[in-house]
Amino acid sequence: MNPRFIVTTEFNNLRAEIWVNRIPVGTITPKDASPVVFPVNQFIVEGRNRIGVVLHNGPVPSGLGAPWPDSPLANQYTGQAKLTLKFSKYKPEEIPFHDSPPVLLNIDWAGLAVPVPSVLEREVELPSAFGRWAWESATTFTSISGSLRGSVLEYLTFLHDLLATGQFERFIAESEIKLKELTVRAYGIEAGPFRDEMLAGLSSHLGPPYELAPLVPEEIDLRLVAGGRLIECLKRDYGYVLESNHPETKDTFFLPIMVGQREGRWNILR
């Protein structure tokens, strides 16, 4: 197994998104139990790495940097808030919050919970990483135009149809680049067992009694990340566009998805 780069967060009464190299890796909210750990090998690049946090992120993903005082959420978001973020390199056998490897980068913040986003970002140089990721050579977009949105929605519809019709092997084939990079490259684990687990998960959570949520274009929010090389696909409430639900237990199964275009073709890259 490879060493693990991990972001650990301890916080109170805070709404925030954690970013690595301008890619969102996770969120925290006032309702979440602290601490929260984010493994981030798959987002690390060789050389300069940016570790950041968007404090008080907006309620719509693509508008996370815009003030949101008129949102119903704003009335509940008040009081003192704080965050401690540490970025460290762990040995495979080390455990976050149990072992304490040297901290490569640290962000400490305390202040008021307000509906006005702000960004804290630090940089750290990493001389050895995991090679060049596929997303680093994907086409760079500068904005989500109408035609670009339409193209991404067409690809999402194709992926949704694969899941709805039980074509799980084909869906995994669309995820092949992501799977290989997440396993062998990022964490030094075998791709085969991971792929088998994914196939089992799809088979058990995308058929009765689970119900695949419909794809509603008006609910989908797309945002450019990784300097415009990836497009994160979410719902406007930060939910997942590819999601199934158990009507009785309310259990939810979801597939996070970031797509990129390489050689004129869309791929699931994260």
Residue-wise pLDDT tens digits, 195-240 = 999 999 999 999 899 999 999 999 999 999 999 999 999 999 999 9
What pLDDT sits at residue 59?
A: 94
What pLDDT sits at residue 99?
A: 85
What is the torsional sign of CA 31, 36, 41, 44? positive
Q: How many CA atoms lie within 13 A of 77 on its CB side?
A: 24
- Can you tell me the mean pLDDT for 151-173? 97
Confidence grade of residue 1 (pLDDT, cut at 50, 70, 90): confident
Percent of residues, the chain, with pLDDT higher than 70: 100
What pLDDT sits at residue 128?
A: 74
Instruction: Indicate whether 129 pLDDT > 90.
Output: no
What is the torsional sign of CA 109, 111, 115, 119? negative
Confidence grade of residue 127 (pLDDT, cut at 50, 70, 90): confident
Cβ neighbours of residue 57 closer than 8 Å, sequence gap 6 or more: 15, 16, 17, 27, 64, 65, 117
The answer to whether the pTM exceeds 0.85 is yes
Alpha-carbon gap, residue 17 to 52, rounded angstroms: 8
Instruction: Indicate whether 245 pLDDT > 80.
Output: yes
Distance of CA 3 to the CA centre of its chain: 20
**For tokens 């409430």, what's the residue?**
237
Alpha-carbon gap, residue 181 to 176, rounded angstroms: 9
Q: How many CA atoms lie within 13 A of 187 on its CB side?
A: 14
Contact 90, 99 (CB under 8 A): yes
What pLDDT sits at residue 33?
A: 95
Instruction: Indicate whether 115 pLDDT > 90.
Output: yes
Show the tokens assigned to 245.
């639900």
How far from each other are the two terminal CA atoms of the chain, in whole angstroms?
20
What pLDDT sits at residue 123?
A: 97
Show the tokens assigned to 193.
């067992």
Show the tokens assigned to 173.
């084939």
Amino acid at site 178: K
Output the average pLDDT for the chain.
95
Instruction: State the maximum Cα–Cα separation within the chain, in Å, rounded to a whole number.
Output: 50
What distances in angstroms separate CA 210 from CA 28, 204, 244, 246, one per listed residue? Answer: 27, 8, 6, 4
Strand order in the sheet with 80-90: 36-39, 4-12, 80-90, 103-112
CB atoms within 10 A of CB 224: 18
- The model's pLDDT over 144-156, given as tens digits with 9 standing for 90+, comes to 999 999 999 999 9
Long-range contact pairs involving 177-180 (C-beta distance under 8 Å, separation at least 24) = 177/134, 177/267, 177/268, 177/269, 178/267, 178/268, 178/269, 178/270
- Can you tell me the mean pLDDT for 237-253? 94
Amino acid at site 270: R
Alpha-carbon gap, residue 161 to 51, rounded angstroms: 36
